[in-house]
Amino acid sequence: MNTQAWITHFERNTRLNDEMELPTEACTLPESARAPLVASIATFQLGESGTGSRLRRYAREVAPLENFRGYQRAIDLFVAEEQSHSRLLARTVEHLRGTLLTKQWTNSIFRRLRFLVNLEFAIQVLLTAELIAEVFFGTLYLRCEDPVVKKVSHKLLRDEMKHLTFQRDFLSERVATFNPLGRWLWKAQFQAIHAITCTVVAWDHRHTFRALGLKPGDFRQRCLQAWERYQERLDEELVKLDSKLPASHSDEVHGADHRRAG
C-alpha cells in the first residue's frame, strides 16, 4: 500500500474543508424540506465526529508490516479529515437552523459494531457507512437547491470517493492474505451487513428522500449498486495481487497528485 501518497493527499486536502467559504444567504427551502433535511444532516454530522481512538489503536497492529509502513500516520490524517467533515456539516446544520445531535440510534449501532472484531472489520463497517455517505451526498448535491448544502455535499462526495479508494487499497492487501473460504465469508458478511444497513438508513431518512423527490427504496437500490461496483473493483485488485502483477490500484491517487503537482 502506498501510504505516502495518501499522507500527501490528506495533508493537502483536509485543510480545504476548514477554509471553505460558504454562501451567506439565508436558507429558503420550504419547511417541509428543511426540517427532515437538517435532521438527516445532523445525523451524518454526528457520524463524522468520532475521535477514531480505537481505529488508531487497531492500526498499530499492522504498523510492523512492511507493506503498511506509514499506515498509522495515514489513519491519523484520515480521522482528522472525517472530523473536518463534521465541522463542515455542523456549519451546514447551523445554516439550516437546526440543532446538533449528541446521540442518535443508528450512529450508536455503527460505533458499537465497528470495534467488535479487528481492524479489517472496523474498516469494513466504516466502508459501509462511506458507501452510503457517497450516495447520500451525491443525492443532496444533485437534488437539493440550497447553495450551502450543494457546495458542502459536493466536497464531501469527492472526499468520500477518495476514502473509498483509501479503504480499498488497505483491504485488498489484507483480504489477499485470507484463504478462499475466509475470502468468501468476508464477502458474504460484508454484503449482508451492507444490505441491512442500507435498508435501515433508507427508512430512517425516508422523509428527507421524499422531500428531495426520491423514493427511499430507490436510495436503497443505489446503495446496493454502489456496493456491487465497489466489490467488483476489490475483486479486480485481488486478482492482480494473486497473480503478483504490478498493482495499479493506487494509480488514481498518484495521478491526482501528479496533476496537482503539475
Residues at the interface with Fe ion (CB under 5 A): 48, 82, 85, 130, 160, 163
Residue 45 identity (one-letter amino acid):
Q
Q: Is the Cβ of residue 48 or residue 169 nearer to Fe ion in the bound state?
A: 48
Q: Is the Cβ of residue 33 or residue 37 nearer to Fe ion in the bound state?
A: 37
157 grid coordinates: 462526495
166 grid coordinates: 483509501
Shortest CB 84 distance to Fe ion, Å: 8
Shortest CB 160 distance to Fe ion, Å: 5
Shortest CB 90 distance to Fe ion, Å: 13
Shortest CB 184 distance to Fe ion, Å: 27
Q: Is the Cβ of residue 33 or residue 79 nearer to Fe ion in the bound state?
A: 79
What is the rounded distance in angstroms from the CA atom of residue 137 to the CA atom of residue 129? 12
Q: Are 1 and 250 in contact (CB under 8 A)?
A: yes
What is the rounded distance in angstroms from the CA atom of residue 220 to the CA atom of residue 202? 6
Q: Is the Cβ of residue 130 or residue 169 nearer to Fe ion in the bound state?
A: 130
Shortest CB 52 distance to Fe ion, Å: 11
Q: Is the Cβ of residue 133 or residue 148 nearer to Fe ion in the bound state?
A: 133
Shortest CB 82 distance to Fe ion, Å: 5
What is the rounded distance in angstroms from the CA atom of residue 171 to the CA atom of residue 241? 12
Shortest CB 130 distance to Fe ion, Å: 4
Shortest CB 241 distance to Fe ion, Å: 24
What is the rounded distance in angstroms from the CA atom of residue 37 to the CA atom of residue 208? 5
What is the rounded distance in angstroms from the CA atom of residue 134 to the CA atom of residue 126? 12
Residue 244 identity (one-letter amino acid):
K
Q: Is the Cβ of residue 33 or residue 45 nearer to Fe ion in the bound state?
A: 45
97: left (phi over 0), alpha (psi -120 to 50) or beta: left
- The 3-state DSSP class for residue 179 equals coil
| Number of helices followed by number of strands (H, E) in the chain | 11, 0
Q: Are 95 and 22 in contact (CB under 8 A)?
A: yes
Q: Is the Cβ of residue 34 or residue 85 nearer to Fe ion in the bound state?
A: 85
Q: Are 62 and 178 in contact (CB under 8 A)?
A: no
Q: How many CB atoms lie within 10 A of CB 77?
A: 19
Q: Is the Cβ of residue 33 or residue 208 nearer to Fe ion in the bound state?
A: 208
